[in-house]
Amino acid sequence: MAFIAVADIGGLGAREGPAILYPWRPPSILPSVLPWVAMLVLLAAPANRKRKALWLLLPLALLLLVVSWLPNAVQNDADELVDVVRPMAFGIAAIWSLSFLWVWKHRLLALVGSFLASAGMSVLVLVLDQSQSTMGLEVWMKALTVAVWALLLSASLVVAGIICRRQYRPGRVVASLMASCVALHVAAAIPFVLAAVIGQPGGIPGSAVLAIVLVPALASVGMLLPFLLLSFGNELYRERLQGMLRLAREPLPPMLKPDAAAAK
């Protein structure tokens, strides 16, 4: 391919520069394919060898579609947030696909399992997404962000299970997950906000504090929502959600005694 620069520089030179030849080769598709291959490997686990398990790819694909549209919709300041949202989407999908390992187990085990699955998958996707020029400290910082976010998400799921008091109702699950997400993100942001306030003699605006706390919290809820909807509609993942959050199945309608039925 040939690249030509065009600019009006008056009498100082020609308007059109010489053609610069550059051999363009399409970029390798491996970095974009590998996360999907990793997802298929997870779905190949014996417990996932069911058609219903494959529905997990739908919320993931929808989420990635939204993420690909985000850079055009948000301000430049949110670029770094967008960079870590894509890996986090794969991380949440990893929690859902591997949750059979810790359903109806101790909540601490669920927390550790969810964190390891989501952080591992997210960091893998994050590293694959990086270009050569951004390798180094920047990637370490993003990996740390992703790991902390994965821990917050896993903890939010566990706390939401506690808030629901063992009762499974979709609306209640969503509400308690939102509450736990916001609460945990606020708790995690407090040290950073304090450091910023101390570091800035003039103080920092309230809108900036809200942005630090609320944007990641709402992004967490937004990312979890498609997977929750899948769980509400898909029997396999509903059972796993109930097991992961340790929520009892919906109570059965009271049975009538045979005598009472006969009397009628």
Query: Least distance from C-beta 216 to other proteins, angstroms?
Result: 22
Stretch that binds other proteins, among 50-58, 110-118, 149-157, 194-202 (CB under 8 A): 194-202
> Do 138 and 158 meet the contact criterion of CB atoms below 8 Å apart?
no
Nearer to other proteins, 27 or 46 (CB): 27
- Read off the DSSP letter of residue 201: T
| Cα radius of gyration rounded to whole Å, the chain | 24
Element (H, E) at 153: helix 137-163
**Angle (deg, nearest 10), helices 79-98 and 57-73:** 170
| Phi, psi (rounded to 5 degrees) for 20 | -100, 115
Contact pick of 71, 136, 203, 222 for other proteins (by CB under 8 A): 203
CB atoms within 10 A of CB 219: 20
The minimum distance between CB 190 and other proteins, in angstroms, equals: 20
Nearest CA to 241 out of 58, 110, 55 is that of 110
Minimum gap (Å) between residue 119 Cβ and other proteins: 23
Least separation in angstroms between CB 127 and other proteins: 12
CB of 51 to other proteins, least distance (A): 34
Q: Which is nearer to other proteins, 135 or 141 (CB)?
A: 135
Query: In this structure, is the dihedral angle defined by the CA atoms of residues 23, 26, 27 and 30, taken in order, positive or negative?
Result: negative
- Contacts to other proteins from residues 1-30, by CB under 8 A: 1-20, 22, 24, 27
Q: Which residue, 9 or 65, has its beta carbon nearer to other proteins?
A: 9
* CB within 8 Å of 126: residues ≥ 6 apart: 83, 84, 87, 139, 142, 143, 146
Q: If you write DSSP's letter for every residue of 14-41 in order, what string do you get?
A: -SB-PPEE----PPPSHHHHHHHHHHHH
For other proteins, the closer of residues 2 and 198 by Cβ is: 2
Kindly state whether residue 199 participates in binding other proteins, applying the rule CB under 8 A: no
DSSP state of 204: -
- Taking the least distance from each CB to other proteins, the nearer of 129 and 239 is 129
Q: What are phi and psi of 21, to 5 degrees?
A: -85, 135
State which of residues 45, 52, 187, 205 lies at the interface with other proteins (CB under 8 A). 205
CB closer to other proteins, 18 vs 222: 18
Q: Would you count residue 202 as binding other proteins (CB under 8 A)? A: yes
Q: Which is nearer to other proteins, 28 or 256 (CB)?
A: 28
Q: Is 171 in the site for other proteins (CB under 8 A)?
A: no
Contacts (CB under 8 A) with other proteins, residues 86-145: 130-133
**Which residues would be at the binding site for other proteins (CB under 8 A)?**
1-20, 22, 24, 27, 31, 130-133, 200-205
